[in-house]
A and B are shown apart, each in its own frame.
Chain A
Amino acid sequence: MGELGPDEGAENTYSLRPGLQHRFKSSTVKECIRAILKEKLANVQYIPEEMPELTKSLSETIKDRLKEEGFDRYKMVVQVVIGEQRGEGVNMAARCFWDADTDSCAHHVFMNDSLFCVVAAFGCFYY
């Protein structure tokens, strides 16, 4: 029989809940999003031909940045909406069916003279 280490028997190491440090914190994520939008959209004008590429690349960038933040065992969804500023009314809502203890979301709205951009990031813990 193999030798057991100093502790008798194995300890449970599979955690069913994220630790406090590893939670998908709204404030941290919102800050990330705000910084990226400020950097990428500062002087951008709304040009219809370029917008599809920009929205896609922005969502990829934000997703990669969140991966680097180190939210282990979290599945993430990032949604980016960019629209032209013409004074029209827009309303957005979201509802989620999840475990409120472990899962969370963050959103940020960026506006300049020619466009507005809404980013919503959701994180779901993978048990």
Chain B
Amino acid sequence: MEEFHPHNDEMIFNADEAHNIVKECIESVLGKADYNQNKVNQWTAAIVEQSLTHLVKLGKTYKYIVTCAVMQRSGAGLHTASSCFWDTTTDGTCTVRWENRTMNCIVNVFAVAILL
């Protein structure tokens, strides 16, 4: 069983760590690929699943929500906003934007703390 960190008083969500993890996952899945309508389903699923697995391996007592949107680059605009009702001292979020020649990718990670 992986390491389990019990709750300590200074539990804060580490956004940088999450940012790096997610960035690596996106690179490994999308890398140098071009937008392909047939594969985009598999890509988004792979990105979220891999990110989630890596975040869980950190062993912190958090519930995670990971969302990913992949869009073709056609000049159209996209806006995202999120609103959260939680404990701001322990919970946190992280957003990673990535793009290449043919597509844009936005991944959001929301981490909700569990107090034991």
Contacts and interface: CB of A to CB of B under 8 A. Distances in A.
A and B pair up: yes
Contact of A94 (B67, B70, B83): B67
A83 B72 contact: no
A96 B65 contact: yes
Contacts of A48: 77
A76 to B, nearest CB: 4
Contacts of B84: 63, 75-78
B48 interface: yes
The residue in B48, B55, B56 that gathers the most chain A C-beta atoms within 10 A of its C-beta is: B48
Contact of B41 (A62, A88, A91): A91
A17 interface: no
Interface stretch (A26-34, A35-43, A51-59): A51-59
A126 B70 CA distance: 31
B77 A46 contact: yes
B63 A98 contact: yes
A96 B63 contact: yes
Interface string A72-111: 0001111111111111111111111111000101000000
A81 B77 CA distance: 11
13 contacts: A55-B79, A58-B81, A59-B82, A75-B87, A77-B83, A77-B85, A82-B78, A86-B75, A91-B43, A91-B71, A93-B41, A94-B68, A98-B63
